[in-house]
Amino acid sequence: MKVLVTGANGYLGQGIVKALLADGTEVVAADRSAENIDKRAAAVACDLFSLEDPFTYFGKPDVLLHLAWRDGFVHYSDAHIQDLPLHYAFLKKMAGSGVKRIAVMGSMHEVGFFEGSIKEDTPCNPVTPYGISKNALRGLAQMLCSKENIGFQWLRGFYIVGNSKYGSSVFSKLTLAEQEGKKEFPFTMGQNQFDFIDYDEFCRRVACAVEQEEVLGIINICSGHPEKLADRVERFIKENGYSISLKYGAFPDRPYDSKAVWGDSTKIDAILGRRSGV
């Protein structure tokens, strides 16, 4: 299997490429820059949206894993709306040219405000440009794949825990603050409960989902259970030996964040079970 990974130089892309390579999968890794892409992959620095025939350009991959997305967690960035037609045009070119399956990275933010377990058929009512755009691309990608009779996977990501300072999550920002020698980190009260998954495990689960073709549709890349934000962040500080402390109540909770939300892990558990023979 040859997998084309777009956005391969990004925070998620770097780890997912490594996970695919570790399984022996042939990877073509594309991004505007190839600076941080694993050298075992066939790295291609290019502008995805300017390619007339991306399928041929990238060596006719079997599967497209589309991670590319500008301003990832800047939820109100205009880039989400501006880039949506470009993502659609790229996926349309790939879907109509011979690729066997398209997998796209989604986000639990496309669901919008919701409390409880997010399932495949949970209604989506996004409230930010980020969530609205992701949800729109999900519908468009599903339509394209159905029209061309190819496999479709929507990999819905939840809250990723990693100690890289280059990400946009609270954990990345906390890591950067620690490295800058700051003593306190402005924080909310941290009472909301989310579905947290460690970075390496997230990347492994994405790779496992893409490397098989039996389980399709929306696949939650999640742990399957909720945990209080404060508890996970405090544990993260201890796990990494940080000396920084949280300044509780410095920020209010975001109004569009749910009090308790987590993913239904039934599909990803089935995929992992097949791999382990369970």
The domain spans of the chain are 2-160+196-223+263-276, 161-193+226-247
Count of helices and strands (H, E) across the chain: 8, 15
- Going by C-alpha positions, the residue among 160, 52, 40, 150 that lies closest to residue 104 is 150
Model pLDDT for residues 27-62, shown as the tens digit of each residue: 999 999 999 999 999 999 999 999 999 999 999 999
pTM here is 0.94
Interior CA angle at 38 toward 241 and 201, to 5°? Answer: 50
Q: How far is residue 177's CA from residue 277's CA, in Å, rounded to a whole number? A: 43
Model pLDDT for residues 89-130, shown as the tens digit of each residue: 999 999 999 999 999 999 999 999 999 999 999 999 999 999
CATH number of 2-160+196-223+263-276: 3.40.50.720
DSSP 3-state percent helix, strand, coil across the chain (nearest 5): 35, 25, 40
Model pLDDT for residues 173-218, shown as the tens digit of each residue: 999 999 999 999 999 999 999 999 999 999 999 999 999 999 999 9
Model pLDDT for residues 148-180, shown as the tens digit of each residue: 999 999 999 999 998 877 767 899 899 999 999
Q: How far is residue 226's CA from residue 14's CA, in Å, rounded to a whole number? A: 26
Question: Is residue 253's pLDDT more than 90?
Answer: no
- 130 counts as catalytic: yes
Q: Which amino acid is at 76?
A: Y
Q: Which of 11, 57, 76, 130 is catalytic?
A: 130
Q: How far is residue 38's CA from residue 28's CA, in Å, rounded to a whole number? A: 11
pLDDT tier for residue 278 given thresholds of 50, 70 and 90: low
